[in-house]
Every structure is written in C-alpha cells, then in structure tokens.
Structure 1
Amino acid sequence: MAEVGRVGPVAVPDPRRRQPGRGAWLHPAPACLRLAERRRAFPRALRVPGPVDTSAVWDHLSASRPQPVAHDMTDVGSVPRQATEGKQVDPS
C-alpha cells in the first residue's frame, strides 16, 4: 500500500508517511490509480474541492515498479526439493 498526501491541488506520494494532514491509501499498481482517478476518489479522500493533479503519483509508481529480471533456468531441478524445505528425517 502507498500513502498519498497533498500539497495544494496536487496529490504527492508519501511512502514514509511523514506529511501532516489527511492522506489516502492506494495500492502501488497503475490499474488502482486509474480506477481511483475515474471514480474521483482523491478529492473525496483528501477532502479538497475540485480536481486533484496526480502526475507526481504516476511518476512515483513508474519509478518504483520493479524491472523484469531474466532468470537463469539452466540449474532448475539440480537441487532436490526435499533438500531445501521440510523436516529432515533420520534414515536409521
């Protein structure tokens, strides 16, 4: 979850939750931000009249999205699953 505050008519990300005043919670997903904008949730949640500029929140979401990582799949299956998890059993 991400915290969003406001500075004037602008919604600003507050990931450390340090800004004073009323804030709004938002999932860190672009789909949730689009839905919140479409439903006009920010003016209601932040209790401000009129539209709220969310460009800073969009910038924060795009900067904090993890980049895809290419995994090396050559060693898949080399370590048995039993050896890495579960209880160890004494063979005697």
Structure 2
Amino acid sequence: MDGTVVPDARRRLPGRGAWLHPDPGCLRDAEKRRAFPRALRVPGPLDVERLRGHLEQLGNQVAGSPRVPHEARKQVDPS
C-alpha cells in the first residue's frame, strides 16, 4: 500500500476496504477521527485526495442531473 485511499466503486479491488457515505461531510468526519488507518489496519496518516475528488465528481453528477418527478404510484387492493 502506498498510503493513498482510493475509491472502489465496483468493489473489486483486493484487500481490506472501508465504507463511506458519498458525502463530503462524512469524509471530513472520518479524517478528524482518523478512521481510515484504523479501518484499514495501517499505521500513520493516509492521503485521501483521490477519494475527495471522487466524492466531488459524484456530487457534480447528482447536482447536474435533472430531477425526474416520481410517477404517481397506483395503490393495489390485496382483496
């Protein structure tokens, strides 16, 4: 390991992983608590810039996509 936290959106990379909500606030909290070295069982601080960039890209995709109104759902009577 080179000390860099990388996103694994497909969940295919080998080794130990850690879950994180796709929210920049959760990333900040995890950094403050030093959660990544503990979760990944590695000594010392880790570089999270690639992960930060991935979260920003996800946020931009969500912010840039048009919201599709939910279709009215038809309620079905089970009787």
TM-score by length of 1: 0.67
Identity in percent: 53
Instruction: Kindly provide the amino acid, as one letter, of the partner of residue 62 in structure 1.
Output: E
Runs of 4+ in 1 over 2 A off after TM superposition: 68-71, 84-88
**From 43, 46, 51, the counterpart of 1:49:** 43
1:67 aligns to 2:63 (yes or no): yes
Greater fraction of residues in strand: 1
Give the C-alpha shift of residue 8 in structure 1. Answer: 1.7
Cα 1:51/1:60, change in 2 over 3 Å: same
Greater fraction of residues in helix: 2
Structure of higher CA gyration radius: 1
How do 1:11-90 residues align onto structure 2 when only pairs under 5 Å count?
11-65=5-59, 66-68=62-64, 84-87=72-75
Any gaps of 5 or more consecutive residues in structure 2?
A: none
Any gaps of 5 or more consecutive residues in structure 1?
A: 1-6, 72-83
Cα 1:19/1:85, change in 2 over 3 Å: closer
Give the C-alpha shift of residue 67 in structure 1. Answer: 1.6
Number of aligned residues: 70
Cα 1:13/1:87, change in 2 over 3 Å: closer
